[in-house]
Amino acid sequence: MDNPNRQAVDSGIMNNTKDEKKNKLPIPPLLEDKNPEEGKAEFDLNVQYGKKEFIEGQETETLGYNGDYLGPIIRVDKGDDVKINVANTLDEPTTVHWHGLEVPGEMDGGPHQVVDPKSSWQPYFTIDQPAATLWYHPHLLHKTGEQVYKGLAGLFYIEDEKSKELNIPKEHGVNDIPLVVQDKRFTQDGQIPYELGMRDVMDGFKGDTVLVNGAIAPELDVKSEVVRLRLLNGSNARAYDFNFSDNLAFYQIASDGGFLENSIEMHEVSLAPAERAEILVDFSDYNIGDKVVLRDGSYEVMTITITEESDSSSSIPEELVDIVQYDRDDVVTTRDFVMSGMGPMVAINGKQMDMDRIDEYLNLNELEEWVVTNESAGMGMMSGETPHPLHVHGVQFQVIERNGGEPPLNEQGWKDTVMVESGEEVRLLVKFKQKGLFMYHCHILEHEDAGMMGQFLVE
């Protein structure tokens, strides 16, 4: 047996496919809003230890928000005044970062907003950005990779007039499906220790088993209608090329920061760590009992079964929203971000993260052009190329150029994370509407934890 880990996982799948034990896709619940007042929302989020049976008969030690693994979905409306009561019940510090949310630096939940063991933190902010599928996760210095890997991640939905009025599926868990996709490496006794080998330090920690919402190869039942899938790559380091068996076409309607201007017909969507895509898949021509497999390349991630006739006639809207494009002529400052190095040496502009150093100073509401390059190339024996997905806190930006050309259509909406492959140059237009200290970093969490992160102050 060359891979004992794999065997443990395979037997788990077999047990789960027994009819009476159908391995249903778990749907993270919507977190209860404790404030009944219109325009206000309040949520409780407990960071806790958990135990979860990913593989039948094996209890895995995990971390979770309000549960054993992952977290509930926080859903708010644009304009809401939001308060969140974060309680850290762990024996170790953590932070809760709102990835993609435009809030003041001190509410951002980055490495400066440490929530000590047995302590709490009450961030509050007003939602001032369009409907989007965002997420939250820890951001403790040097510990982000481990805490996310153990299970700390959840989705954060913003809804607005537009998302409510568009003719798209909106029934949570029925035809509006959250999909948090992650990869794991299980030991023989079903544990998920976060121990980095040489390879993991170089390329980031990648697993051999893909989970969706915490389940291995789950099954989702749908009606023969249009279904909306909200994909989050919640993995530490793995990038995905999502496609369907039968080469089924689908339509991307949203990127990281909200709806695209038009739905885009695609056969495959690539997501770097932290990127999101909302896609619509039309199952209306399928028969009851038909199955479609969501795949990463040729790896089977999840099976979708059409189990019911739909009474609604659904269609794919072509036009979605208007996005006001920034004008390059308004750029005040241009900055370079050079990502380089390998393994423990990964750096941005030749520097590694220093909590006491501010790397860039920016002005509020001023348009900037960021030129992001990846100079990490393969060295000698080491296997080649290191991709770096750059993420910027506190903002949604526009990608205006990729390697001197127009970016692909699905990068022409709001983004907060952008994949930069080895040797590539990507240009962004960025404007900050919130003050404070924010991070920019590679979202391969092992790179981030190794120091591939910098800080900027917006004033």
Of 35-43, 152-160, 295-303, 439-447: span binding ligand C2O (CB under 6 A): 439-447
Q: Which does 185 bind (CB under 5 to 8 A by kind): Cu ion, ligand C2O, none?
A: none
Which is nearer to ligand C2O, 98 or 186 (by Cβ)? 98
Quick one: what does residue 388 bind among Cu ion, ligand C2O, none, with the CB cut-off 5 to 8 Å set by partner type? Cu ion
Q: How many residues bind ligand C2O, per CB under 6 A?
A: 10
CB of 56 to Cu ion, least distance (A): 35
Give 353 or 439: the residue with its C-beta nearer to ligand C2O. 439
**Residue 99 CB, nearest distance to ligand C2O (Å)?**
4
Residue that is written with structure tokens 């009476």 in the block: 20
Candidates 223, 295, 388, 427: give the one binding Cu ion (CB under 5 A): 388
Closest by CA to 12, choosing from 41, 42, 72, 54, is: 54
* Closest distance of CB 234 from ligand C2O, Å: 9
Pick 281 or 445: Cβ nearer Cu ion: 445
Q: Which is nearer to Cu ion, 23 or 236 (CB)?
A: 236
Min. distance of Cβ 393 from ligand C2O in angstroms? 6
Q: Which of 439, 442, 452, 458 is close enough to bind ligand C2O by CB under 6 A? A: 439
Letters for 73-112 (x = contact with Cu ion by CB under 5 A, - = none) are: --------------------------x-------------
**Which residues ranging from 362 to 421 are in contact with ligand C2O (CB under 6 A)?**
391, 393
Binding to ligand C2O by residue 274, rule CB under 6 A?
yes
Nearer to ligand C2O, 302 or 444 (CB): 444
Q: Is 184 one of the binding residues for ligand C2O (CB under 6 A)?
A: no
- The contact pattern for ligand C2O, residues 93-132, with x = CB under 6 A and - = no contact, is ----x-x---------------------------------
Q: Which does 279 bind (CB under 5 to 8 A by kind): Cu ion, ligand C2O, none?
A: none
- Interface ranges with Cu ion (CB under 5 A): 99, 388, 393, 442, 444, 447
Catalog residues that contact ligand C2O under the rule CB under 6 A: 97, 99, 137, 139, 274, 391, 393, 439, 441, 443
